[in-house]
Amino acid sequence: MSADHAASCPPEGARPDWTIDQHWDGYTPAEHQVWITLYERQAALLPGRACDEFLRGLKALDLHGDGIPDFRQLNARLNALTGWTVVAVPGLVPDEVFFEHLANRRFPAGRFIRRPEQLDYLEEPDIFHDVFGHVPMLTNPTFADYMKAYGEGGLRALRLGRLHNLARLYWYTVEFGLMQTSDGLRIYGAGIVSSHGETVFSLEAPSPNRLGFELLRVMRTPYRIDDFQQAYFVLPSLQRLLDDTLQDFAPIYEQLGRLPDIAIDAITPQDEVFTRGSQAYAKAHASEATA
């Protein structure tokens, strides 16, 4: 995950590309225990809720409940599958650095793990979110290609002044995406699969809208940065995501410059509606930080 508020120089001890050693031997037993607790909770919840591509990835990487994964072992498996590697970073990195890594099939992951009292909520992505949430999908060749293309697209969006629009695409796919399957709606977004609460909320709560994925529509929709989403977008397949994003975005950005945003809870006549949400949860939770 990137953030434009991150400092522009790497912190002391980090390389110019912001990477650090994972220093796996340095994790304490208590830190491994946090991973184990989180892993066990999600492993019990995700079958029948996460998509097959995610669950297969989890298995292929041999991510398990023994403790925090060692990137050296993780990367041997991941790299053989799709050419991706995971690199450790101290925390959020500047947008340009983040996109540069993605464009080279490197996924920047926080080294640190949340404290035991932060199991359900934390402000910065930690190693559980970054590795458990994101890396299983990177074993899927279609998704792996999408993430690389997104990195290149991010560098371009920065130059064109359209990053706020492209960031919404990342948010509503990579972080909070749902997918339609023959068995019903399934999760592929990392922000959901790494969150106990949102795993259930995103699929089962009557509050949020669940709408068919449309590229332009998604890029016009702000998102919640501080709470469960008010809208989720449903892909028919991962291939659709890759196909839609392989087109040249320059004309799309031009259109976006003329079109207003769509309210976060709106349903338009063009939307394919899976769920018309009550928005009861959002109404009951007053703060509304959006981007």
Site size with Fe ion, rule: CB under 5 A: 3
Which phi-psi region, left, alpha or beta, contains residue 89 (left: φ > 0; alpha: ψ -120 to 50)?
beta
By beta-carbon proximity to Fe ion, the closer residue of 34 and 190 is: 190
1 binds, among ligand PHE, Fe ion, none (CB under 5 to 8 A by kind): Fe ion
**For residues 174 and 55, what is the distance between their CA atoms, to the nearest angstrom?**
16
248 binds, among Fe ion, ligand PHE, none (CB under 5 to 8 A by kind): ligand PHE
Are 68 and 23 within 8 A, CB to CB? Answer: no
183 near ligand PHE, judged by CB under 6 A: no
CA nearest to 194, candidates 137, 140, 275, 265: 137
1 near Fe ion, judged by CB under 5 A: yes
Which phi-psi region, left, alpha or beta, contains residue 161 (left: φ > 0; alpha: ψ -120 to 50)?
left
| Nearest approach, Cβ of residue 250 and ligand PHE (Å) | 6
**For residues 98 and 1, what is the distance between their CA atoms, to the nearest angstrom?**
7
By beta-carbon proximity to ligand PHE, the closer residue of 19 and 173 is: 173
Give the angle subtended at the CA of 127 by the CAs of 85 and 18, to the nearest 5°.
60
- Interface characters, 197-236, with ligand PHE (x: CB under 6 A): ----------------------------------------
Q: Are strands 184-187 and 178-181 parallel, antiparallel or unpaired?
A: antiparallel
- Interface characters, 229-268, with ligand PHE (x: CB under 6 A): ----------------xxxxx-------------------
| Nearest approach, Cβ of residue 136 and ligand PHE (Å) | 19
165 near ligand PHE, judged by CB under 6 A: no
Task: Say if residue 5 is exposed, middle or buried (CB neighbours under 10 Å; 0-12, 13-18, 19+).
Answer: exposed
For residue 159, the number of C-alpha atoms closer than 13 Å in the C-beta half-sphere is 9
- Interface characters, 121-150, with Fe ion (x: CB under 5 A): ----x-------------------------
176 binds, among Fe ion, ligand PHE, none (CB under 5 to 8 A by kind): none
